[in-house]
Amino acid sequence: MAVTPATWTPSGWRGRPARHLPEWPDEAAADAALARLKALPPLVFAGEARDLQAALGEVSAGRAFLLQAGDCAESFRDFTAVSIREKLKILLQMSVVMIYGSALPLVKVGRIAGQFAKPRSESVERIGDTELPSFFGHMVNDDGPTLEARTPDPDRMVQAYHQAAATLNLLRAFTKGGFADLTQVQMWNQEFVASAPEGQRYDAVATEIERALGFMRACGIDLVDAPQLHQVDVWTSHEGLVLDYEEGLTRRDSLTGDWYDCSAHMLWIGERTRQPDGAHVDFFAGVHNPLGVKVGPGASADELLELCERLNPMRIPGRLTLIVRMGAEALRQALPALLQALRESEHPVVWACDPMHANMFRTASGIKTRSFDEIMAEVVTFFSVCRAEGAWPGGIHLEFTGEDVTECLGGSAAVLEEELTTRYESLCDPRLNARQSLDLAFRVAELMRS
Ligand code: PEP
Ligand code: CO
């Protein structure tokens, strides 16, 4: 189906007003990095992006649910098999809880294997007496507090590509090679989670699932031959921010002749870069991947309709996910009108809730954090507003980690304000730790069921 505007090219965005793009100090080096990316193999296939789009089409029709989660910013330093495995474990645990609780299929999308670039509200940061360029994600510069570290370096895009390739490789091995087998459901419970209340609750669900599998086996159902029990699909996504990187990985699909951004299965456009006439919207209008758009408290219905027309003129179900991030109060005020306008326009979007990005604050001592209760309040409000308007609350979008970090406050095994410095490792925004994530999954499963 013709998605791409007739005059579109992968580099056409360069003629558009652009926000939050890195300023590479050495143009020749940037050109060389782009040429390098263009010559490298794609990270994902067009057919996979189409499969994800079809799965998201089921979400837009109210027959499935989306869980999109991962780091705020992936790191070039924290890059080990263990950290990838722990992220996958918590994603699988949350999935089990949500599928078991809701009896609905769950589309699992990681903020992973490419989430290396950050838009920043301030382009400079004061550290002591010096003013330095802000940290824009490891795809652009380093987070160290020196001018040298903070200087954008386009070779980092090539390094990001290689890290994404290795991450995706391990993810594919874990999800298709036995680790994600449903008979392993008990094994995903990490020690520090298992002892907490939500870990014990998870253990009870896992036991029930094992009993159900045993029951089916005893009835003579052949479980060995059911691939759904032994493998899962975990798709990749990131914010499509650094357009040099996205252009460099855009390929024409040999089967259909259509353009795909082969850096990830799904890409989203951030709240700060979704201007309908801007470079980012121009670029993503031309590729056939499923897309997300972040929607903040200032978004008007007309603006959203214009974005829908630009990004999904053919009204393909699953093509467009609107990821609302307003904070509970603004959501209550603003979301009903947006839901009504989109319903009247018959745009088949997925509505998802990002309860993270409007709920950040600094403690008295200056630490950036979020409160579990406020995160949960936004999710609850999202479900109730969608239901009141007859719209399907299709998914949640989270920042989490599989590790035992102390970055967000609260949860049932509460992280206290004085504990925030104990293990605060995020490169950017504070993430839910594994226990808080599982706790949230149980509460979301209850909302899905009610
Ligand atoms: C993010 O998802 O990390 C982000 C920057 O979000 P937003 O565009 O919604 O502010
Ligand atoms: Co973030």
Q: pLDDT tens digits, the chain, 450 residues: what are they?
A: 567 888 999 999 999 999 999 999 999 999 999 999 999 999 999 999 999 999 999 999 999 999 999 999 999 999 999 999 999 999 999 999 999 999 999 999 999 999 999 999 899 999 888 999 999 999 999 999 999 999 999 999 999 999 999 999 999 999 999 899 998 898 898 888 888 889 999 999 999 999 999 999 999 999 999 999 999 999 999 999 999 999 999 999 999 999 999 999 999 999 999 999 999 999 999 999 999 999 999 999 999 999 999 999 999 999 999 999 999 999 999 999 999 999 999 999 999 999 999 999 999 999 999 999 999 999 999 999 999 999 999 999 999 999 999 999 999 888 999 999 999 999 999 999 999 999 999 999 999 998
Q: How far is CA 311 from the centre of its chain?
A: 19
| 438 within 8 A of 199, measured Cβ to Cβ | yes
For residue range 148-168, list pLDDT tens digits in order: 999 999 999 999 999 999 999
Q: State the distance from the centre of ligand 1 to the C-alpha of 357, rounded, in angstroms.
A: 6
Q: State the distance from the centre of ligand 2 to the C-alpha of 357, rounded, in angstroms.
A: 6
> In this structure, which ligand is nearest to the CA of 20?
1
Ion ligand 2: protein residues whose beta carbon lies under 5 Å? 72, 429
Q: State the distance from the centre of ligand 1 to the C-alpha of 268, rounded, in angstroms.
A: 9
> In which residue are the tokens 């709240």 written?
271
The amino acid that residue 117 corresponds to is A
> In which residue are the tokens 């078991």 written?
100
Q: State the distance from the centre of ligand 2 to the C-alpha of 424, rounded, in angstroms.
A: 15
The predicted pLDDT at position 213 comes to 94
> In this structure, which ligand is nearest to the CA of 426?
2
The predicted pLDDT at position 1 comes to 52
Q: State the distance from the centre of ligand 1 to the C-alpha of 52, rounded, in angstroms.
A: 22
The amino acid that residue 273 corresponds to is T
For residue range 367-421, list pLDDT tens digits in order: 999 999 999 999 999 999 999 999 999 999 999 999 999 999 999 888 999 999 9
Q: How far apart are CA 16 and CA 9, in angstroms?
A: 12
Q: State the distance from the centre of ligand 1 to the C-alpha of 270, rounded, in angstroms.
A: 6
| 271 within 8 A of 292, measured Cβ to Cβ | no
Atom of ligand 1 nearest to the CA of 271: 8
The predicted pLDDT at position 2 comes to 63
Minimum CA distance residue for ligand 1 atom 10? 271
Q: State the distance from the centre of ligand 2 to the C-alpha of 37, rounded, in angstroms.
A: 26
CA dihedral of 324, 327, 330, 334, whole degrees rounded to 10: 10
The predicted pLDDT at position 117 comes to 98
> In this structure, which ligand is nearest to the CA of 360?
2
Helix 81-102 with 434-449: angle, nearest 10 deg: 20
How many C-beta atoms lie closer than 10 Å to residue 321's C-beta? Answer: 27
Question: What does pTM read for this prediction?
Answer: 0.97
Minimum CA distance residue for ligand 1 atom 4? 270
Q: Which of 71, 291, 294 to mutate to test the pocket of ligand 1 (most atoms within 8 A of CB)?
A: 294
Q: Which of 68, 71, 271, 396 to mutate to test the pocket of ligand 1 (most atoms within 8 A of CB)?
A: 271
Q: Which of 68, 115, 272 to mutate to test the pocket of ligand 1 (most atoms within 8 A of CB)?
A: 272
| 402 within 8 A of 90, measured Cβ to Cβ | yes
| 127 within 8 A of 144, measured Cβ to Cβ | no
| 79 within 8 A of 163, measured Cβ to Cβ | yes
Q: Residues lining ligand 1, judged by CB closer than 6 Å?
A: 72, 119, 239, 270-272, 294, 325, 357
> In this structure, which ligand is nearest to the CA of 119?
1
Q: Which three-class secondary structure state does DSSP give residue 137?
A: coil
Atom of ligand 1 nearest to the CA of 296: 9
The amino acid that residue 404 corresponds to is D
Helix-, strand-, coil-residue percentages of the chain, each rounded to 5: 45, 15, 40
Minimum CA distance residue for ligand 1 atom 1? 72
> In this structure, which ligand is nearest to the CA of 358?
1
